[in-house]
C-alpha cells in the first residue's frame, strides 16, 4: 500500500510540474485564436510572401466586392503595358457613356470629357488612387477592345489561378444596374462577388508578379488634368501617411477600397511588417452608415491583433534537416512563420505542400515545397497559373528551297 501511495504521489508531482508548460502553450493558442472580434462580414490577415493566414473570418463566403474588382482589372492593364501592347504615354478618349458617368456624383470623382484625351498613366493612377470607374473602363477598352471581352479575360485569369465560383460581370465593381448594356455581362442586377480567400489569392498573384504597383497605391494624393488645370484629389485609402486614419508605426502602402450598396464598405490593405508584407482584407465592415472610417478601424484591429498576439519566428535554419514520414528533407534557406507569442517552436509539424506555397527543401535530389501543418490559420489555397504549352504541328509544306528545285524540275 505504501508503495502504491508513493507511486501515485510521484505521478501527481510530474503532472503538476508539467501543467504550467502545457497550459502556457494552450493558453497562447487559445488567446490568439479567440481574442479578435472583427466587425465585418468576412476578413483576413495573411503574409503575402508565404501565403500563411494568421486570422480569417468566413473566408469562403462569396460577397459583393465593389471596386476591389479593380485589382484584377489593373493587374491586366499592368500586364499589357509590361508586354509592350501600349505605353503609359498613349492617349485615350472616353466614350460619351464613360464621360457621362463622371457627371454622376455617386459614381465618380475625377471628371472626364468626351471631347478630350487622357494619358494611360493618368487614367491608371486615377483608377488605383481614387477608384475612377470610367478610367478603369477606358483602360479595359484599350486592352481588349471592349469591356465584355475584358470581363472574359478577367474570368479566365482568375480561373487559371484556381479560383472557382467567382462572379465577375464588369470591370469596375459597380452593380450592373448602374451601367450601360455594353459595359457588362450577365443580367442588370448582377454584381461582382468573391470570397476573402479568392481575394487573398488574387492579391498574392498580383504583388508577386508586379510588386511595383505599390509605388502607385502608396500615393496619398492624385494630380489629374481637369479642363485647363491640374486638380488634386485625396486617396480613398485613409490609412496612408498624411491621411485621416494614419497611425505611426503601421505604414500602409496599398491597396484598394470597395463600396457599393451590396458590398457595404470594404478594404484590402497592404503594409510592410517584420521584414515581410502583410495583407488585410475587410469585407462589408459593420457599423453606422454615416461612419466612413469603420472599414479602416476594422483593418487596424487586424494589424493590432497580429502585433499583440503573434511574432514572426525563425523556425528552421538554412541547411537544416526536416523529417516527414521517415523521409529527410534539407532546407535551402531559413524559414520564418507567424506564431502565437510563447508558442514552443518544437511543437510545429511539417507536411509536403499540396499547392504552390511553402518553403523549398530537397529530398534525394528532388525539390519540393514544405509547409508548417499545424499553424492556427493555415495557408491560402494558392496555385501558380496554368500555362498551356503551344504545340506547333508539323506540316507537309515544303521549304522555299525545295519549292525552287521542284519548279526547275518541271521546266524540263
**Numbered residues of the known binding site for substrate:** 256
Q: Cell 471592349 appears where?
A: 146
* 223 has catalytic annotation: no
**In sequence order, what are the residues at sequence separation of 6 or more whose Cβ sits closer than 8 angstroms to the Cβ of residue 253?**
214, 217, 218, 240, 270, 271, 272
CA angle 165, 170, 172 (to 5 degrees): 115
* 132 has catalytic annotation: no
Query: 141, 86 in Cβ contact below 8 A?
Result: no
Given the residues 56, 67, 218, 266, the one annotated as active site? 67
Q: How far apart are the first and last CA of the chain?
A: 121
The total of other beta-carbon atoms located within 10 Å of residue 153's CB is 18
Alpha-carbon distance of 341 to 28, in angstroms, equals 6
DSSP secondary structure, 227-286, as one string: TTEEEEEE-S-TTSTTSTT-BTTB---EEEEEEETTTEEEEEEEEEETTEEEEEEEEEE-
* 156 has catalytic annotation: no
Dihedral of the CA atoms 212, 217, 220, 224 (nearest 10)?
A: 100
Closest CA to 336 of 274, 249, 271: 274
Which residues define the annotated binding site?
256
Alpha-carbon distance of 216 to 237, in angstroms, equals 12
Query: 285, 294 in Cβ contact below 8 A?
Result: yes
Alpha-carbon distance of 222 to 366, in angstroms, equals 49
**In sequence order, what are the residues at sequence separation of 6 or more whose Cβ sits closer than 8 angstroms to the Cβ of residue 269?**
237, 239, 252, 254, 255, 279, 280, 281, 282, 299
**In sequence order, what are the residues at sequence separation of 6 or more whose Cβ sits closer than 8 angstroms to the Cβ of residue 144?**
150, 152, 153
Residues 210, 211, 217, 219: is their CA dihedral positive or negative?
A: negative
Given the residues 56, 57, 70, 172, the one annotated as active site? 70
Residue 167 carries which DSSP code? B
Catalytic site positions:
67, 70, 131
Amino acid at each position: 500500500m505504501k508503495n502504491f501511495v508513493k507511486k501515485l504521489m510521484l505521478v501527481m508531482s510530474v503532472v503538476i510540474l508539467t501543467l504550467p508548460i502545457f497550459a502556457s502553450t494552450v493558453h497562447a493558442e487559445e488567446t490568439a485564436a479567440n481574442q479578435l472580434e472583427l466587425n465585418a462580414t468576412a476578413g483576413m490577415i495573411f503574409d503575402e510572401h508565404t501565403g500563411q493566414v494568421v486570422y480569417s473570418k468566413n473566408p469562403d463566403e462569396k460577397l459583393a466586392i465593389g471596386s476591389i474588382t479593380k485589382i484584377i482589372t489593373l493587374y491586366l492593364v499592368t500586364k499589357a503595358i509590361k508586354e509592350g501592347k501600349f505605353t503609359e504615354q498613349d492617349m485615350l478618349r472616353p466614350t460619351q457613356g464613360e464621360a457621362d458617368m463622371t457627371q454622376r456624383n455617386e459614381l465618380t470623382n475625377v471628371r472626364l470629357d468626351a471631347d478630350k484625351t487622357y494619358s494611360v498613366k493618368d487614367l491608371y493612377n486615377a483608377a488605383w488612387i481614387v477608384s475612377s470607374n470610367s478610367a478603369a473602363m477606358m483602360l479595359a477598352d484599350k486592352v481588349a477592345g471592349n469591356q465584355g471581352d475584358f470581363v472574359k479575360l478577367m474570368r479566365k485569369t482568375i480561373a487559371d489561378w484556381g479560383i472557382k465560383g467567382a462572379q465577375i460581370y464588369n470591370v469596375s465593381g459597380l452593380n450592373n444596374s448602374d451601367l450601360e448594356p455594353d459595359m457588362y455581362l450577365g443580367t442588370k442586377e448582377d454584381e461582382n462577388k468573391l470570397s476573402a480567400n479568392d481575394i487573398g489569392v488574387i492579391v498574392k498573384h498580383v504583388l508577386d508578379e508586379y510588386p511595383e504597383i505599390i509605388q502607385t497605391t502608396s500615393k496619398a494624393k492624385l494630380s489629374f488634368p481637369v479642363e485647363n488645370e491640374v486638380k488634386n484629389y485625396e486617396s480613398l485609402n485613409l490609412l496612408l501617411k498624411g491621411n485621416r486614419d494614419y497611425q505611426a508605426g503601421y505604414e500602409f502602402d496599398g491597396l484598394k477600397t470597395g463600396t457599393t450598396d451590396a458590398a457595404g464598405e470594404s478594404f484590402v490593405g497592404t503594409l510592410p511588417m517584420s521584414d515581410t508584407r502583410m495583407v488585410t482584407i475587410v469585407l462589408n465592415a459593420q457599423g453606422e452608415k454615416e461612419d466612413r472610417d469603420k472599414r479602416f478601424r476594422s483593418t487596424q484591429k487586424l494589424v493590432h491583433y497580429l502585433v499583440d498576439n503573434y511574432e514572426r519566428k525563425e523556425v528552421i535554419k538554412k541547411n537544416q534537416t526536416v523529417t516527414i514520414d521517415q523521409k529527410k528533407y534539407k532546407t535551402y534557406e531559413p524559414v520564418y512563420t507567424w506564431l502565437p507569442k510563447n508558442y514552443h517552436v518544437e511543437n510545429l509539424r511539417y507536411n509536403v505542400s499540396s499547392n504552390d506555397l511553402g518553403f523549398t527543401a530537397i529530398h534525394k535530389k528532388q525539390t519540393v515545397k514544405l509547409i508548417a501543418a499545424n499553424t492556427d490559420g493555415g495557408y491560402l489555397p494558392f496555385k501558380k497559373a496554368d500555362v498551356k504549352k503551344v504545340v506547333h504541328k508539323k506540316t507537309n509544306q515544303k521549304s522555299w528551297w525545295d519549292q525552287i528545285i521542284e519548279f526547275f524540275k518541271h521546266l524540263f
